[in-house]
Structure 1
Amino acid sequence: MRKIIVYIATSADGYIARKDGAVDWLDRPRPKGNYGMGEFWQSIDTILLGRKTYDFVVRFVKEGKSIPKQKHEPKHYAFSRRPPKKVLPGFEFVKEPIKKFAKRLRAQKGKNIFMMGGGGIIASFLDVGEIDEFIIHVIPTFIGEGIPLIAPRHRTVPLKLLSTKKFSDGVVRLHYEVVKTKAQARSR
């Protein structure tokens, strides 16, 4: 079965971006292999993102920056109750309930699914038991405040550590499996 995997970088204090969405603190020399991103891209064929992350991608494109082209272009699904009138090519907006969408998507043939973020959509998928794994790259920088990895809500979600990797620049990759409750396992 296809997995939904959060593959993301956080500051050492757990933020994925500054309050304004800026990720300038991620601009740093990368070690050879770019933290395994190429291998990860080969394992996915679908990208999920929330509306704020979609808007960030739109700004990125408007600034003349390109989205890296892949041999096989992934399908992009963005979640919003109010989709924009004009949508970037290759993107589709989703309004259906997350659980229903995830079940339908997992039933389709394909590779794993990349949950790009941001914190709100990650939390929404996590709250209905639809995140399978987290691959978190902890950047050795504190930014003090910002957008947390997961939108704050009252929840306890146990994780099982699958692996760790330390890179030469001090970045640490933590690979976790989300431990499903019995009720979540039955609902699939």
Structure 2
Amino acid sequence: MRKIILWMSVSLDGFIEGPERQIDWHLVDEELHSHANEELAAKGAFLSGRVTHELMAGFWPTADADPASPRPVAEFARIWRDMPKFVFSRTLERADWNTTVVRDVVVDEIMALKARPGADMVLSGADLAASFRRHGLIDEYRLYIHPVLIGRGKPLFTASDAKTDLRLVENRAFGNGVLLAHYAKR
């Protein structure tokens, strides 16, 4: 059965975006972007909420059209376009770029998706992750911790009664100071 991996960048103080959705504090250099491309190219699908999907769809479909685009940017544009995507939204009517709109997180439907043949799936977005976590649907956590304190914004994890025991799978420090902390459910 394929796994669902929460894949998020987070500030050291636990935020995924600033108070006005800023992500300009992300330290994505060529080393980190190339690493992400290599890992993500081997995955089987992207799972995201509407806001994340619309943000991605607003940039990545044509990000490689500019000949001046750095190699990792052009590479990821192709990965993103080709990857099957599932966007969870109650308001979105349709989505382009190999995307299926899903109305709700229904455990039986997610388990059926996990049982399909293919590679592991990547989950992004704090609100969607909270729903998946509540239902025990996240198998692994890949957190890219950026060496910055942004003070306030949207936290990755909100208060919850759900306790999840994890084991360390991998950790890695990148040259720009970003740390990968990769955990799996025990």
Bin of the TM-score, shorter chain as denominator length:
0.7 to 0.9
2: CA distance between counterparts of 1:77 and 1:125?
Answer: 14
2:172 counterpart letter in structure 1: K
Aligned pairs, how many?
175
- Aligned partner of 1:113 in structure 2 is 121
Give, in angstroms, the shift of residue 172 of structure 1.
1.0
Residue deviations 1:144-174, cap 9 Å, x none?
1111113443332222112211122211110
1:169 paired to 2:176:
yes
1:112 counterpart letter in structure 2: D
1: CA distance between counterparts of 2:28 and 2:111?
Answer: 39
- Aligned partner of 1:80 in structure 2 is 89
- Gaps of at least 5 residues in structure 1 are 180-188
1:146 paired to 2:183:
no
**Contact 2:145 / 2:179 at 8 angstroms: preserved in 1?**
yes
2: CA distance between counterparts of 1:55 and 1:34?
Answer: 20
Change (3 A) 1:119 1:94: same
TM-score w.r.t. the length of structure 2 is: 0.83
1:17 paired to 2:17:
yes
Change (3 A) 1:73 1:29: closer
Change (3 A) 1:76 1:130: same
- Structure 1 runs (4+) greater than 4 angstroms displaced: 64-67
- The sequence identity of aligned pairs, in percent, is 26
Greater shift, 125-134 or 143-152, is seen at: 143-152
- Gaps of at least 5 residues in structure 2 are 65-75
- Aligned partner of 1:37 in structure 2 is 36
1:93 paired to 2:101:
yes
SS at match of 1:32: helix
Q: CA RMSD in A?
A: 2.4
1:102 counterpart letter in structure 2: I
**Contact 2:32 / 2:174 at 8 angstroms: preserved in 1?**
no
